[in-house]
Chains A and B, each alone.
Chain A
Amino acid sequence: DVKVTQSSRYLVKRTGEKVFLECVQDMDHENMFWYRQDPGLGLRLIYFSYDVKMKEKGDIPEGYSVSREKKERFSLILESASTNQTSMYLCASSSREGAFFGQGTRLTVV
């Protein structure tokens, strides 16, 4: 079974903190993605990566950065968390077999 694992299910952080969301996949997929899901807005693409050390901006990259040092791991970084980054964050990986999502991280910034 393909597995995409996100390091935390729930996180509460303070405004201004630097936040790291980790994602690991075990299927040797080239492509990895970070989305956020908000009510009424669906899933919006933040960043994606087609290979190690490679990253590309998605539709809403402002306030975020990413790191892909190893093929299986894709990290999302909130440089200085703000309340408008309170959301459900979803990591995905894909190849010809399909696109698979992690269980999500519910981040609350207070």
Chain B
Amino acid sequence: DQQVKQNSPSLSVQEGRISILNCDYTNSMFDYFLWYKKYPAEGPTFLISISSIKDKNEDGRFTVFLNKSAKHLSLHIVPSQPGDSAVYFCAASEKGWDKLTFGTGTRLQVTL
């Protein structure tokens, strides 16, 4: 039973435009949500997180939005750059930096 879902396996965006990656979850006990970026043959690196008491968190070009009633979060990257091309994983936990449940990932390709 997939508790965290990323329904788009891939996304292609032009350089300079906005990338929007989506994530849905089913477990109401999740209270902390994170996005990780992963290049091939490397471990995931942390990008940005949001607590369930907030609905938005920004860090430079990256913004995460949380809609608790819809059990949906999204990652916005503005403007997109070629170096952003990677696989992005959404993750959730029931308490902070505890064990994370990951989605299946979305491969983002930023084209010139």
Residue of B nearest to A106 (CB): B41
Number of contacts between A and B (CB, 8 Å)?
A: 58
Contact with B along A17-48 (1 / 0, CB 8 A): 00000000000000101010000111111001
Instruction: Indicate if the CB atoms of A40 and B104 lie closer than 8 Å.
Output: yes
- Mostly, the B contact residues are loop
Which residues on B sit within 8 Å (CB–CB) of A103?
Answer: 41-43
Smallest CB separation, A87 vs chain B (Å): 13
Smallest CB separation, B36 vs chain A (Å): 8
Contact with A along B1-17 (1 / 0, CB 8 A): 00010100100000000
- Mostly, the A contact residues are strand
Which residues on A sit within 8 Å (CB–CB) of B46?
Answer: 98-100
Smallest CB separation, A24 vs chain B (Å): 14
Instruction: Indicate if the CB atoms of B98 and A94 lie closer than 8 Å.
Output: yes
The size of the chain A interface, using a CB distance under 8 A, is 27
Instruction: Indicate if the CB atoms of A104 and B42 lie closer than 8 Å.
Output: yes
Which residues on B sit within 8 Å (CB–CB) of A70?
Answer: none
Given the known inter-chain contacts A40-B104, A42-B89, A42-B104, please indicate yes or no for A48 contacting B43, CB distance below 8 A. no
Q: Is A95 engaged at the interface, CB distance under 8 Å to the other chain?
A: yes
Which residues on A sit within 8 Å (CB–CB) of B4?
Answer: 42
Q: How many angstroms between the C-alpha atoms of A106 and B43 in the bound complex?
A: 11
A4, A92, A95 — most chain B CB neighbours (10 Å) = A92
Residue of B nearest to A59 (CB): B101
Q: How many angstroms between the C-alpha atoms of A94 and B32 in the bound complex?
A: 14
Which residues on A sit within 8 Å (CB–CB) of B98?
Answer: 31, 94
